[in-house]
Amino acid sequence: MTNSLRNRITILCVGLVLLTTMVSLFSFWWSTSKFQEEKVNQDITVAQNVYKQYLKSKESLLLTAAKVLTSDFGFKQAVATRDAGTISSVLFNHSQRIDAELMLLLDLSGRLISANTDEDAFAHNLKPLMEELLSAPEESSFVVLNNELYQIILLPVRAPRTVAYSLVGFKIDDNVANELKSLTGMDVSFIGSADDIVISSLANRPEPFEPVNYFNTVTTSRFLGEYSVYRNRDINLPSLLTHPIIILLSADLTQSYSDFEKLLFTLIILAILTMFVGVITSSLFANNLTTPLTQLAVIARQFAQGNYTFEFKGQKQTTEIATLVAAFDSMGNDINQREQQISFQARHDSLTGFYNRSAMLEVLDDELDISAEYTLVAIDIKGLRHINDKLGPRIGDDCLKAVACRISEFSDELGGFHARIGGDEFLTVFPTAAAREQKSGIVGLMAQLQACYTIQTLKINLRFSAGIVQYPTQGIASDDLMRRVLIAVESAANTQESIHYYQNGEDEAHLERLIMLDELKQAISDDDGQLFMTYQPKLHMKTQKIDKVESLIRWQRKDGSWVNPELFIDLAEQSGLIVELTGWVVNTVVAQVADWQSKNINLQAAINVSAQDIAFPGFHAALVRTLKKYKVDPKLITIELTERDMIENEEKGIKALENLKAIGVKISLDDYGVGQTSLGRLKMLPIDELKLDKCFILKLDESQKDQFIVQSSITLGHQLGFSVVAEGVETIGSLNLLRGMQCDHAQGYYLSRPLKAELLEEWLEEYYEKN
Amino acid sequence: MFERALQKFAKRHCFLAIGLFFSQFALSANIELVIEDQHGQKLSGAVVELNVADKQATPSNLPTAIMDQVHKQFLPELLVVQQGQKVNFPNSDNIRHHVYSFSQAKPFQLRLYSGQPKEPITFEQQGVVVLGCNIHDSMVGYIYVASSESVYKTDKKGYVSLPINILPAQVSVWHPLQTAPLENKKIITINSQKKLQITVNTSTPAPRNTFGSKFKAGND
C-alpha cells in the first residue's frame, strides 16, 4: 500500500509543498526578524534624534530665556547696582514667564547673589559648577542640584563687562519623561548614577528600580520562548564630568513580538491550508492516474481468465492511458484470435480437420443427449501401413483425406460428428434413429467407404474394419464409449470381420487382458520364478537317445493360478511384449543349455519364436550376444517358427532366417501340415527341420489317413533334406509306426510331458537306466 | 563731510599736544617699564599712573575729551582723563546709541541719541568707568579717570617711559583685560632706575555672540 503510485505521488506533492512552505517560512522568519530588528533600531535612532531635538529646543528655549533675562537693561542695572530686592523679584518674575523652575544669579566668584526660590537650598559653593559650565559657554547641561535634575544654562550678565552669572534651568521630572514618551512611544529614563537619581516614564516600577538593569533584563514569555521586552539605547547627555547623566531609551518590543507571532501564525495556517490543498489535489491527480491503471490491471486479469472483451470506464483519459487502453484492446483481440487458432489446432486433426481423440471425448460428453440413442462407429483402415510403405506417405495422407471426406459426407447427412482417433482410425457418431430411416445404415456406410478411391490417378481399393457401440445402452461416459468402440474395432480387425458389434462384457475381458499383460510385464522384469521354462524331450529314433528338447514357457502367477501359455503368448504378441518375452526365453534357455553342457548333458534346445521376433531388428544381435555370453554352440539352438509366422512378411522373414542360419542355429518349421504352406514355398524356406502338427500324430495308430499323410510328409521332408519331428506321440503304437516310417525324432506325452530342467535331468537318468 | 574730517584732525592734534606735554616732564629722569601678560605677551594699552600724593590738576584747565562712536565701536576704546575732566560722546554713526555706565566712578546714561549729546559729562571721581551701549551689546569702552596728571599708556610694544624724580616711587598698573576686578589697580613700588618688567594677568574676552547662532540647525 505504501508502495503504491498514488501514495508516492501524494508523498511527493506533500513533500514539495512542505519543503516550499518550510523554506518560505524560514526565509520569512529570517527576513521579518531582520526587518523587525532594523525597524526597532531605526525607531530608536529616530527616537534618539527626536530626543536630541527636543532637548536642543529646550536648550534654545533656555538660552533665549536666559539671554532675554541677562540682556534686560533694568536687570543689568539692578545687578550692577546690587539691588538685591529688585534682582530677586526679577528672577522670580522671569522664571514665571518662561516657566523655568530654576533661576539663580551668581557673582563672578560663584557666590549666590539671588534665587527665584529658597536661596538657602543653594547656599553652598557653586563655583566649581560654574567654572565647569563656563568651559562650554552657551550650552545647556544636565545637572543635579538639590536632589533634582535640571537642564541648566549659565549665562553672564554683562553691563557691558560680565558683572554676574545667571543660571537658568528646567526641572526634569517624571512628567518630562512621560512627555518624551508620548512623542515616540518609548520609555525614557534619565539616570544620574553618581547622584543616585532616576527619572523614568515607566509607570509600574519594581522596587528597587534600577532602570539599566531592569530594562536590560526584563523578559516576556512568548509563544517561541523568552524574549527581552525592551531594546535599549543610552545616550550621554551633556553633564558635569564627575556627575554623568545618561538618557536611556527603551523600545517596548511586546507589540512587535505579537505582530510577528500573528504573522507567523497566519503563515502557518496558510501553509497548512496549502498542504491540505496539496494533499487533496495530489490525491485527485494520483487517483486520476491510478484509477485507469487499476482498471487495466483488472482487465489484464480478465485476459488471464480468457475473457477478452472489456469496457473501459472513465472519460477524458490522458493520451498515454488512451494509447495503453488501445494497446490492451488490440492485444486482447490478437490473443483471442491466436487462442482460438491454438485451441482449434489442439482439438482438431490437422490433416483432416476432424476432432482429435481428446477433443472427441469432450465432444461426446457435451453433445450426446441421454434421452436419445446414438451409434458410435470406429473405422479402421486395413493395410494403410502398406500403402504408406509402398506408395509413400503422401498417398497415404491423401487416402486418409479421401476416407475422411466420405465419413463426413455420411455423418453430416445424419446430423452426426466425427473424429480421427488414431493413425488409421476414425470415429463417427450419429443418431441411431436417423440411421434407421436411411435404409442403408452401417452396411451402406461400409459400402460407401469400400468403393474405389482415385488418388492422384491411382485407383486404390481399401478395406475397413468397423466396431460399433450403441449409446446409451452400451456406455454413457465418453471414455467408456471410446474404449469400447476401440475394443470392438480391434476385435473386428483380429477376427477378420469387417463389422464387429460390441458385446457387453468385452470391455471387462479386455480389461482383464490388460491387467494380465501388466502382470506379465512385471514378471519378465522381476524374473522371480513366476515365469519358467519346461523342456519336453525329443527321442532320436535311430539311436534311441534323447538328444533334443523343446523349451516351453510356463507362467504360474503369485497367487498360484496357472495361465494358459497360448493365452498369454497371444496377448504378448498382440501387445508387442513378445519381443521382450522371447528375449527372456532365449536368455533362460541358452543359460540352461550351457548349464547342461557343463554337466555333460548334450541336448539341443528348440525355442519357439513368433514372426514379430524375427522381424525385430535386434533379435539376431541379441541371440548372438547371448550365445557368446554363455559360450554355447549355436548348433545346440533351434528356432521354431509356425507356418503362419513364416508366411507373414515373407521376403523379410526369409532373409532374417537365412541370417540366423548363417550363425549356425537350426531352423524348424512348427505345426507343419495345418497351415497354408504350399509346397512351392516350402522348398524356398531356409529350414533344417519339419515338425509335423500333432493333429496328425495323436491318433496315428487308429487312422489310416493320418498314416498316409505322415508317411508322405516324412518322405517329402527327407527328400527336401529336412529332418522330421513328430509331436504329440502318446502311444507306443504311434511311436512304432513312426519308427517304421523312419521319422527322425518323436516328441510327446508317451515319452514325457514338458519338465522343469532338474526334473528332466532326473527323467533322463531314469530313461537311460531303463534302456 | 569736510567739517567732520576737520574735526578728526583737531582731535589728533589735541592728543599730540597732550603727549608732547607729558614728555617734556619726563626728560629729567626716565624709567622704562615693560608690561606683559602671563604668557609673556607685551601688553599695549596698559595704563600706568604715577601716584603723587599732593598733585591736583585744576579742572578748568582741562580740555574736553572725546569718546567717539564709530562703526558701533567706542573710539578710542580706552580714554584716559584727569579727575574732573569733561568728556564729550559724539555719535559718528548714522544710527542711534544708548551709552551707559554702571561703574561706581560715574554711573550715567545717554539715552538714545545721534550726533552730539546736549552737553559733555564731567568725571569727578577717579577710577575706571566701563562704557556700554544698551542697543549694541558688542560695544565696550573704557574711561580711565586718573587722580594725577602723571598717567601713561604703554605703546604697541608694551613699553612706557616714566619721568621719575624721587625714588622710591609708587605706580599703579591697570589693563582693561586684567583678570582682577576691573576697579582694582596693581600697585608697584619702583626702587631703582632699572628697566622694570611688570606682569598683568589678562583674559581674552569671548567673542560676543548674538542670539541667532543658538537657533541655527546643526549646532551640536
Could you tell me which residues come within 8 angstroms of residue A187 by beta carbon, excluding any fewer than 6 positions away? A181, A200, A201, A202, A215, A230, A249, A250, A251, A252
The mean per-residue pLDDT over the stretch A204-210 comes to 81
Residue from the list B132, B139, B206 with its beta carbon closest to the beta carbon of A159: B132
Q: What is the pLDDT of residue A647?
A: 66
A19 in helix, strand or coil?
A: helix
Helix axes A618-630, A650-663, angle to 10 degrees: 20
Angle value at C-alpha B142, between B136 and B144, nearest 5 degrees: 160
How many angstroms separate the CA atoms of A527 and A139, rounded?
Answer: 144
Residue-wise pLDDT tens digits, A233-245 = 888 888 888 888 8
Residue-wise pLDDT tens digits, A654-713 = 888 888 899 999 999 888 888 766 777 788 888 899 999 989 999 988 889 999 999 999
Instruction: Tell me which H or E stretch contains B111.
Output: strand B108-113
The amino acid at B192: S
Does the beta-carbon distance from B220 to A52 stay under 8 Å? yes
User: Is the Cβ of A73 closer than 8 Å to some Cβ of chain B?
Assistant: yes
DSSP B41: P
Q: What is the pLDDT of residue B53?
A: 63
Does the beta-carbon distance from B211 to A63 stay under 8 Å? yes
* B13 has pLDDT over 80: no
Pick from A214, A209, A185: which is nearest to A197 by CA? A209
DSSP B46: -
The mean per-residue pLDDT over the stretch A611-640 comes to 90
How many angstroms separate the CA atoms of A471 and A484, rounded?
Answer: 11
Does the beta-carbon distance from A160 to B220 stay under 8 Å? no
Domains (range + CATH), chain B: 29-55+149-205 (2.60.40.10), 57-147 (2.60.40.420)
Label residue B9 by pLDDT band (50, 70, 90). Answer: very low
Q: What is the pLDDT of residue B59?
A: 56
Lookup: cell for A278: 496539496
Could you tell me which residues come within 8 angstroms of residue B99 by beta carbon, excluding any fewer than 6 positions away? B69, B89, B109, B110, B131, B132, B133
Q: Where are the beta strands (DSSP E) in A637-735?
A: 637-642, 666-672, 689-692, 723-727
* DSSP letters spanning B158-211: SEEEEE--SSSEEEEEE-TTBSS-TT--EEEEE-SSS-EEEE--B-PPPP---G
Does the beta-carbon distance from B134 to A158 stay under 8 Å? no
Q: pTM score > 0.95 for this model?
A: no
3-state secondary structure A511-534: HHHHHHHHHHHHHHHHCCCCEEEE
Lookup: cell for A30: 529570517
Residue-wise pLDDT tens digits, A408-437 = 888 888 888 899 988 889 999 988 888 777
* B24 has pLDDT over 80: no
Label residue B1 by pLDDT band (50, 70, 90). Answer: very low
User: Is the Cβ of A158 closer than 8 Å to some Cβ of chain B?
Assistant: yes
A412 in helix, strand or coil?
A: helix
Q: Which residues pair with B99 in a beta bridge?
A: B110, B133
Listed in sequence order, the DSSP H helices in A72-83 are 73-80
Residues in chain A with CB shorter than 8 Å from the CB of B217 are none
DSSP B61: G
* A718 has pLDDT over 90: yes
How many angstroms separate the CA atoms of A760 and A532, rounded?
Answer: 14
* DSSP letters spanning A176-215: HHHHHHHHHS-EEEEEETTTTEEEE--SS--SS--HHHHH
Residue A3 to residues A7, A589, B184: CA-CA distances in angstroms? 7, 77, 111
Residues in chain A with CB shorter than 8 Å from the CB of B211 are 63-64, 67
Residue-wise pLDDT tens digits, A251-294 = 888 888 888 888 888 888 888 888 888 888 888 888 888 888 88
Label residue A648 by pLDDT band (50, 70, 90). Answer: low
The mean per-residue pLDDT over the stretch A309-313 comes to 80
Residues in chain A with CB shorter than 8 Å from the CB of B206 are 137
Q: Are B188 and B171 in contact (CB under 8 A)?
A: yes
Q: What is the pLDDT of residue B28?
A: 55
Residue-wise pLDDT tens digits, A528-561 = 889 999 999 999 999 999 999 999 999 998 888 8
The mean per-residue pLDDT over the stretch A63-75 comes to 84
Instruction: Tell me which H or E stretch contains A251.
Output: strand A243-252
DSSP B91: B
Number of CB pairs < 8 Å for A and B? 40
Angle value at C-alpha B125, between B121 and B128, nearest 5 degrees: 85
Q: Are A465 and A492 in contact (CB under 8 A)?
A: yes
Residue A623 to residues A217, A547, A569, A616: CA-CA distances in angstroms? 123, 22, 20, 12
How many angstroms separate the CA atoms of A363 and B105, rounded?
Answer: 163
Does the beta-carbon distance from B211 to A64 stay under 8 Å? yes
User: Is the Cβ of A538 closer than 8 Å to some Cβ of chain B?
Assistant: no
Does the beta-carbon distance from A77 to B102 stay under 8 Å? yes
Residue B135 to residues B100, B109, B140, B158, B207: CA-CA distances in angstroms? 10, 12, 12, 33, 17
Ramachandran angles phi, psi of A105, nearest 5°: -125, 125
How many angstroms separate the CA atoms of B133 and B113, rounded?
Answer: 11
Lowest mean pLDDT, pick from A164-168, A257-261, B15-19, B115-119: B15-19
Quick one: closest CA in B to A137, which residue? Answer: B206
